[in-house]
Amino acid sequence: MKLTILGCGDAFGSGGRFNTSFLLEQGHQRILVDCGASTLIRLKQLGVSVTSIDTIVITHFHGDHYGGIPFLVLSNHIEYKRATPLTIIGPFGVKRMVYSLQEALYPGTSNILEILDITFVEYQDRQWIDVNDLEVYARTVTHAVPTNPHGVKIRWQDKVFAFSGDTEWNDSLVDLADGADVFVVECNNLNEDSPGHLSYQTILSRQTLFNSKRLLLTHMGTEVISQEKLEIERLSDGQEILF
């Protein structure tokens, strides 16, 4: 599997980084995990066609994690005349939230979601669901409650990718990391946790609980980015990882 980091920044674009979005590829299939507001720009910078993406997995309803969907919708319909299926997987209420966002950013365009014939699938907490030749497992995490925050684990063929989403410490993280080839965990702060977010020190002190082959930090604030060296690997925009 190939993982491309379209964006690993926080909500403030600390360090000039783009909003959260990860591109997973196997063969000719492509999946997005989160779709922050800057995602279409990043796809175009890297020469990735929006029509090549079959599935979008959303962890929660904050703009830096799903705010890019309306732009992808317009690009798919107007620029590329998309005629192939698209599936959006997310927390409870994902269809309603995507429709509301589409109307908020581009009033009068939510009908395009019908034209594109998008299939919406909701997570089943602590259960694997089969969608488009992959399996998705979700756990509720601790972030802003109205966003219905989840972490996800994706099993695709013989590889497993896991992502914490945005969260404070939550025992669900141990479950999400279990058996993952790659576990991406948010690390907004350096020394102390804040409401809805983890710190590097918390992750470092508990990293032995994570039964994953590789641990990677994302969603970093300025203080984490500015550190010359850390004991846990940090992601960067544009990075490619094969696993």
The DSSP element (H or E) to which 21 belongs, if any, is: strand 21-26
| Options 10, 34, 54, 64, the catalytic residue | 64
Model confidence pLDDT, tens digit, residues 60-86: 999 999 999 999 999 999 999 999 999
What pLDDT, on a 0 to 100 scale, did the predictor assign at position 38? Answer: 98
Beta pairing, strands 159-163 & 150-156: antiparallel
Residue 105 burial class via C-beta count within 10 angstroms: exposed 0-12, middle 13-18, buried 19 and up: middle
Count: domains in the chain: 1
Phi/psi-derived region of residue 132, left when phi > 0, alpha when psi is between -120 and 50, beta in every other case: left
Gap between the Cα atoms of 97 and 20, Å rounded = 18
Q: Give buried/exposed letters for 117-140 (b at 16+ CB in 10 A, else e).
A: ebebbebeeeeeeeebebebbbbb
> Which CATH number goes with the domain that contains 26?
3.60.15.10
Q: Determine the pLDDT at residue 143.
A: 98
- Residues 37 and 12 sit within 8 Å (Cβ to Cβ): no
Q: What is the pLDDT of residue 42?
A: 98
List, for the chain, all residue ranges whose pLDDT scores fall below the cut of 70: none
64 is catalytic: yes
Checking phi first, is residue 84 left (phi over 0); if not, alpha (psi -120 to 50) or beta?
Answer: beta
- On whether the CB atoms of residues 204 and 217 are closer than 8 A, the answer is no
* 103 Cβ neighbours under 8 A, 6+ residues apart: 109, 110
Q: CA–CA separation, 170 vs 46, rounded Å?
A: 34
Q: Which domain holds residue 220?
A: 2-242
